[in-house]
Chain A
Amino acid sequence: MSKKKTKLEEMDFSRYDFRNREDPAYKVSNGLTKEIVSSISQEKHDPSWMLDFRLHCLEIYDHLKLPSWGPSLKELSLDEIATYVKPRTTMKDSWEEVPLQIKDTFERLGIPQAERESLAGVGAQYDSEVVYHNMQKEVSEQGVIYTDMESALTEHEDMVKKYFMKLVPPFDHKFAALHGAVWSGGSFVYVPEGIHVKAPLQSYFRLNAAGAGQFEHTLIILAPGSSLHFIEGCSAPKYNVLNLHAGCVELYVGEGARLRYSTIENWSKNMMNLNTKRAKVERNGTIEWVSGSFGSHISMLYPSSLLVGEGAHSQYTGITFAGKGQILDTGAKVIHSAPNTTSSISTKSISKNGGVSITRSQVSVAAKAFGVKSTVSCESLMLDSLSRSDTIPAMDIKNDQADIGHEARIGRISDQAIYYLMTRGIGEKDARTLIVRGFADPIAKELPMEYAVEMNNLINLEMEGSIG
């Protein structure tokens, strides 16, 4: 009798792979020129300083080269990407006012339901603009600001000008510059001192147009002693042409504040996901990253934490699933710039059916950052020999009072572990299910229950055959 190997089905993206007829109110032509950037700025009624900023970013973009490491980005041509697609609606604060086709899109994705059941506020972006934004009255009465970036640019211009692309400057890399030139949509959050937002805020990004880009900007500022859980989700239907996502997330965590930033990324497999996320954490502040990367054709994503205040803490928990046709190059970075800061990075990856998973980590400890403690753990599960899994950690320590530990493992599902569970009376199929789900469990338990269920639904498991 031939042995059948443990089998893990491909990710089920069917619930995301639906598309609406494209009917934009305005769409720039493909490519990236000064005229296109200016037209985006004009369409969005930017203040003059933002137009100047966009054009400056375009100059930087033209000057910078593509990264010399990581997956090849040769397939990507900005000449084939429309960087701005405006949906035929303005932003609403009631789902009833959102155009039916767009509303149905988000209904299918479960966003209005999630808002009713468990969220303090929701922002929904369709192509290049936010089409819905709302927040619970009691949360806004606490002084919390949660709005789209365009409204923030008008209503809180000084704050936006102070923080916008200061943490991720346009010269950081080529796609940061691109983002600065053509950004649109995204969310602005401000939580006042001492305020704890009990339920999460969520922004959801849906890219419907083929051959388009989404460049949302998320800017979150937590005043001292405050706390917030922010969730972002994203998806797109699959096309035969490339789409591009080059968003930017900038998080400012004040003294003693706590921010959890969770992401479930379900981009379609024609998406180039070149996102940049960075947090700056002040004294005794905490940033928690929770990340599930399941979609995209090519991803380059490395959330970074700058720990600039004494006692600041960063925690990163992430899982990556690379299937057929995917190259997911993900990881995390922590820069310890102050004494007695701590960090932990825990990553898990699964690769199958030719998928390529690359996990990077960087822990840097500055010369004056005494008393730092940091641990990094990477586990990789390969389910066949068509796939690849690479682990590339780096540690750079510049004083003798830092305790740094790193460990990584790579391998297949353990036959011994399955056998052990079976000796305890658990059936073979259940044993395999238990082990594989357990692999993803540390990530699932960091998410609100609905999103943990969502994540488990994304990983459809089918176990068959004998051990191994």
Chain B
Amino acid sequence: MTIPSLNVAEKEQRPQSSKSNGYEIGPSALPSEQKRKIARIQTGSGENLSCFIVKNDNAGCSIRIDGQIKKPIEIAYELNREYPTIIDNTSILIGKEAKATIVQTYRVKGEGDFFHAGSTHVRVGPYAQFTLVQIQMTDSSTFDFQDTGFELEEGAQVSLIQVLLDSQHTYAGAKALLQGEGSSFHLGCIYLGDGIRTIDTNYVVEHHGKKTTSNITARGVLLDSASKMFRGTIDFKSGTKGSKGSEEEFALLFGPSVDNKSVPLILCGEEDVEGAHAVSSGRIDANALLYLMSRGLDQKHSKKLLIKGQFFPVAKMIEDEVLRQEILDTIERRLENHEY
């Protein structure tokens, strides 16, 4: 793997500094010591990738949110001929009782070989609500590493939505430490692999505090000779009484040469918890197909509806209607060229 234009330090993509009621973006948003602590939050893909990103970053920013921010904050990156490599390192602090949504989008313009590696570290304060949406709509010439880590304090609620659609090779990870009592973490991932695309994910949730809850949901479609590895870990540490964790993965497979791997773990060192996981993979449910066709839809449209429906439970977590529709349109466009 050759990383194009890695050492072009002056070609940086960093959001403009901004300060408003309730939030600040830019180098001064976080004091150095706090930024260092947040940067050490563990992520899903591990220390090696984190170190690589910190050492080579040419994008990313520090963000501090203290208030209730109604509109999502979008951080948009574009890979193009001038910026073929983006390595973004982002630190986010969500203050006590704050509320915000941040959307990170990665798009490609033009042709070429592109490389993206991103690491986002987030500390979420007591009773704060935070949603992070990461959308990858690049193209088939891209290597993409998307890594995230969270630490949640008491009562914090976090949602992470990852949309993995286009890169040739995608490596996505997330890790959440539910330290505070009553904190909750919900992760939704949708993926679409066709051709010879590869998708490799690693999601870890550690329950430390009491009465914490988590849910990991991954839904996707594999076609042609695409391959996917889903790793999910719910880890109940001793002392996390009253906690609940679940993970589920549903994969639709259309392609004689797909390679579909799933490893959903539950690790438990505490008696008073509830843990569950469910995985299923296969083709479209024949009964559901028959039902739609009995309602007058032809087979092709019925299948399309059911396949698109695979993504809805996670897609609807994205509040921005325009963005949600863009994602569903991208999926539809990609499915057009395939038989299923």
Looking across the interface, which residue of chain B has its beta carbon closest to that of A383?
Answer: B271
A382 touches B271 (CB 8 A): yes
Interface SS, B side: strand
Return chain A residues, CB-CB under 8 Å to B261.
394-397
A145 within 8 A of B: no
Question: What is the CA–CA distance of A425 and B278 in the complex, to the nearest angstrom?
Answer: 35
Kindly supply a per-residue 1/0 record for chain B positions 252-273, scoring 1 wherever the CB is within 8 Å of any chain A CB and 0 otherwise.
Answer: 0111111111111111111111
Question: What is the CA–CA distance of A119 and B115 in the complex, to the nearest angstrom?
Answer: 67
Return chain A residues, CB-CB under 8 Å to B279.
393, 395, 404-407
Residue among B253, B271, B274 facing the most chain A CB atoms (10 A cut-off)? B271
Return chain A residues, CB-CB under 8 Å to B67.
none
B275 touches A410 (CB 8 A): yes
Looking across the interface, which residue of chain B has its beta carbon closest to that of A395?
Answer: B262
Return chain A residues, CB-CB under 8 Å to B273.
410-411
Q: Which A381-416 residues have a C-beta within 8 angstroms of B?
A: 382-385, 387-412
A409 touches B262 (CB 8 A): no
* Distance between A416 CB and nearest chain B CB, rounded to angstroms: 12
Question: What is the CA–CA distance of A392 and B267 in the complex, to the nearest angstrom?
Answer: 8
Return chain B residues, CB-CB under 8 Å to A337.
none
Question: What is the CA–CA distance of A399 and B254 in the complex, to the nearest angstrom?
Answer: 8
* Distance between A328 CB and nearest chain B CB, rounded to angstroms: 15
Contact of A400 among B238, B276, B283 (CB under 8 A): B283
Tell whether A408 pairs with B276 under 8 Å between CB atoms, given A390-B265, A399-B258: yes
Question: What is the CA–CA distance of A393 and B249 in the complex, to the nearest angstrom?
Answer: 13
Q: How large is the interface on A (under 10, 10 to 19, 20 to 34, 35 or more residues)?
A: 20 to 34
Return chain A residues, CB-CB under 8 Å to B258.
397-400
Contact of A408 among B239, B262, B266, B281 (CB under 8 A): B266
Tell whether A390 pairs with B276 under 8 Å between CB atoms, given A395-B262, A400-B255: no
A409 touches B275 (CB 8 A): yes
A367 within 8 A of B: yes
Contact of B269 among A385, A397, A401 (CB under 8 A): A385
Contact of A402 among B266, B272, B282 (CB under 8 A): B282
A305 within 8 A of B: no
Question: What is the CA–CA distance of A392 and B279 in the complex, to the nearest angstrom?
Answer: 13
Tell whether A393 pairs with B281 under 8 Å between CB atoms, given A383-B271, A388-B269, A410-B276: no
Question: What is the CA–CA distance of A401 and B222 in the complex, to the nearest angstrom?
Answer: 12
Tell whether A400 pairs with B271 under 8 Å between CB atoms, given A390-B265, A405-B279, A406-B264: no
* Distance between A252 CB and nearest chain B CB, rounded to angstroms: 29
* Distance between A140 CB and nearest chain B CB, rounded to angstroms: 47
Return chain B residues, CB-CB under 8 Å to A412.
271-272
Looking across the interface, which residue of chain A has its beta carbon closest to that of B254?
Answer: A400
Question: What is the CA–CA distance of A391 and B257 in the complex, to the nearest angstrom?
Answer: 29
B277 within 8 A of A: yes
Question: What is the CA–CA distance of A407 and B264 in the complex, to the nearest angstrom?
Answer: 10
A390 touches B262 (CB 8 A): no
B256 touches A400 (CB 8 A): yes
Looking across the interface, which residue of chain A has its beta carbon closest to that of B231?
Answer: A394
Tell whether A395 pairs with B260 under 8 Å between CB atoms, given A400-B254, A409-B276: yes
B17 within 8 A of A: no
Looking across the interface, which residue of chain A has its beta carbon closest to that of B263?
Answer: A394
A380 within 8 A of B: yes
Tell whether A398 pairs with B276 under 8 Å between CB atoms, given A384-B271, A387-B271, A406-B264: no
A390 touches B257 (CB 8 A): no
Looking across the interface, which residue of chain B has its beta carbon closest to that of A406?
Answer: B279
Return chain B residues, CB-CB under 8 Å to A384.
271
B280 touches A406 (CB 8 A): yes
Looking across the interface, which residue of chain B has its beta carbon closest to that of A367?
Answer: B257
* Distance between A87 CB and nearest chain B CB, rounded to angstroms: 43
B277 touches A392 (CB 8 A): no
Return chain B residues, CB-CB under 8 Å to A383.
271
A406 touches B278 (CB 8 A): yes
Residue among A380, A397, A412 facing the most chain B CB atoms (10 A cut-off)? A397
* Distance between B230 CB and nearest chain A CB, rounded to angstroms: 9
* Distance between B50 CB and nearest chain A CB, rounded to angstroms: 24
Tell whether A382 pairs with B268 under 8 Å between CB atoms, given A404-B279, A410-B275: yes
Question: What is the CA–CA distance of A405 and B281 in the complex, to the nearest angstrom?
Answer: 7
A385 touches B282 (CB 8 A): no
Question: What is the CA–CA distance of A136 and B208 in the complex, to the nearest angstrom?
Answer: 60
Looking across the interface, which residue of chain B has its beta carbon closest to that of A414?
Answer: B274
Contact of B275 among A387, A388, A393, A411 (CB under 8 A): A411
Question: What is the CA–CA distance of A399 and B272 in the complex, to the nearest angstrom?
Answer: 39
Contact of B265 among A387, A392, A395, A404 (CB under 8 A): A392
Return chain B residues, CB-CB under 8 Å to A409.
274-276
Return chain A residues, CB-CB under 8 Å to B269.
385, 388
Question: What is the CA–CA distance of A389 and B274 in the complex, to the nearest angstrom?
Answer: 12
Q: Which A368-390 residues have a C-beta within 8 angstroms of B?
A: 380, 382-385, 387-390
B283 touches A388 (CB 8 A): no
* Distance between A15 CB and nearest chain B CB, rounded to angstroms: 29
Return chain B residues, CB-CB under 8 Å to A385.
238-239, 241, 269-272
A389 touches B268 (CB 8 A): yes
Return chain A residues, CB-CB under 8 Å to B254.
400
Return chain B residues, CB-CB under 8 Å to A387.
271
B283 touches A397 (CB 8 A): no
* Distance between B209 CB and nearest chain A CB, rounded to angstroms: 15
B276 touches A405 (CB 8 A): no
* Distance between A453 CB and nearest chain B CB, rounded to angstroms: 29
Looking across the interface, which residue of chain B has its beta carbon closest to that of A357?
Answer: B268
* Distance between A143 CB and nearest chain B CB, rounded to angstroms: 43
Contact of A404 among B263, B268, B270, B280 (CB under 8 A): B280
Add 5 more A-B contacts to A397-B260, A400-B283, A410-B276 (CB < 8 A).
A391-B267, A395-B263, A397-B258, A400-B282, A410-B275
A-B contact pairs, 18 of them (CB 8 A): A367-B256, A367-B257, A383-B271, A391-B266, A393-B265, A394-B261, A395-B261, A396-B260, A399-B253, A400-B256, A400-B258, A400-B282, A402-B282, A403-B283, A406-B279, A408-B278, A410-B276, A412-B272
The list of the 8 closest CB pairs from A to B, nearest first, reads A400-B253, A403-B282, A410-B275, A406-B279, A397-B260, A382-B271, A385-B271, A395-B262
Q: Which B positions have Cβ atoms within 8 angstroms of A?
A: 222, 238-239, 241, 253-283
Q: Which A positions have Cβ atoms within 8 angstroms of B?
A: 367, 380, 382-385, 387-412
